Amino acid sequence: MTVEIARHWRLKAQRYGLIGEVCPTCHGKIFPPRDVCPHCAGEAGPAFQFSGQGEVYSYTTIHNAPEGYEGNVPYVVALIKLDEGPMITAQLTDIDVAEVEIGLPVEMVTRKLMEHGEEGLIQYGYKFRPDLVTA
């Protein structure tokens, strides 16, 4: 792998990584970033890069997608408990809806979220897929 490609991947990881904060007072992990720590109500601290790994805490199967998401139904939106503690809501990918269960280990991936018709604008964002390493 060349240096240029390595740098490209690093930049991508920053852009799409789970960036939250860590509290300087109670050291609680915070996501998404905010002004006040939800754990101790102190001032929220410096940026913190989450591992992107966690487990399914609860989930909902979506059969009627909003405009722009129709090609994906049915899909699962899960409340994910990150390894560092915070909860995050995200769509699951690379999994059959019937295989989703509470406690399933998952990891973050960057995926295409939606397309805007003929202009072909594509919005990217994070989703979570089964974490096969720790599963």
- Say whether residue 34 binds Zn ion (CB under 5 A): no
CB of 32 to Zn ion, least distance (A): 15
Tell me the C-alpha distance between 80 and 96, whole Å: 17
DSSP reduced 3-state for 41: coil
Residue 28 found at the interface with Zn ion (CB under 5 A): yes
Residue 22 near Zn ion by CB under 5 A: no
Q: Are the CB atoms for 114 and 123 separated by under 8 Å?
A: yes
List 39, 81, 111, 129, residue binding Zn ion (CB under 5 A): 39
Nearer to Zn ion, 11 or 26 (CB): 26
CA distance 48 to 83: 13
* Residue ranges in contact with Zn ion by CB under 5 A: 23, 25-26, 28, 37, 39-40, 42
